[in-house]
Amino acid sequence: MKEQITLALTKGSRALVPSLSLLADIGVEPLEDISSSRKLVFPTNQENLRLMILRGMDVATYVEHGIADLGMAGNDVLLEHGGGGYYEPLDLGILKCQVMVAGLADEGVLPPRLRIATKFVNIAKRYYAEKGAQVDIIKLYGAMELAPVTGLAHRIVDIVETGDTLKANGLVPMDFIVDISTRLIVNKISLKTRFAELQPLIEALEKATS
């Protein structure tokens, strides 16, 4: 029996639900309820395909190293990961949002060298380097909006969808950095050695999202 194709998905209902819905559209469904299980690997109704449920950044790492043949992850994760070893053939068009700079609506006069709070350290560094601006990056993992409010940082770089959370904390979006959506990534070696197995799945996803 041939080794199964492994497709890595991003855990958490916000990412997982639309990913599973897209897979259902092309006839792929897990044989167990992922949301009620602590397992990380799940068989599907396609005998040759299994799903692996991982943190977003880990999706890119597992695909890069060939443990997973394919993965679905936001391009914010891919830009932050910065690794090679995989192709990015499809924009799946789900979980659309933006990475933006935001700050206090009444921030007043700021110093020449800003403190920027973000979990997207590499994206922020590249953005400010391209602007020729020297900043100090403070890595945070959550509650980003508190950083300007408490004085920890002058501004933040974060995901913005509706802007409601920013507004509720007295912040406003300021500078656009990049559009974000979920992308399909494919391990380079897998695509060469298992092309005949992977291509039908890639083509089905392309058709479902076009």
Contact (CB, 8 A) for 50 and 44? yes
pLDDT level of residue 142 (50, 70, 90 thresholds): confident
Mark whether 58 and 128 lie in a shared domain. Answer: no
Report how many domains make up the chain.
2
The domain of 81 spans 5-95+181-209
Mark whether 18 and 90 lie in a shared domain. Answer: yes
Tell me the whole-structure pTM to 2 decimals. Answer: 0.89
Tens-digit pLDDT profile for residues 45-94: 999 999 999 998 899 999 999 999 999 999 999 999 887 889 999 999 99
What is the CATH classification number for the domain harbouring 90?
A: 3.40.190.10
Q: What is the pLDDT of residue 56?
A: 86
Contact (CB, 8 A) for 187 and 147? no
Residue 21 phi/psi, 5-degree rounding, is: -65, -40
Mark whether 18 and 59 lie in a shared domain. Answer: yes
CA pair distance 164, 73, nearest whole angstrom: 24
27 Ramachandran zone, left/alpha/beta (phi>0; psi -120 to 50)? left
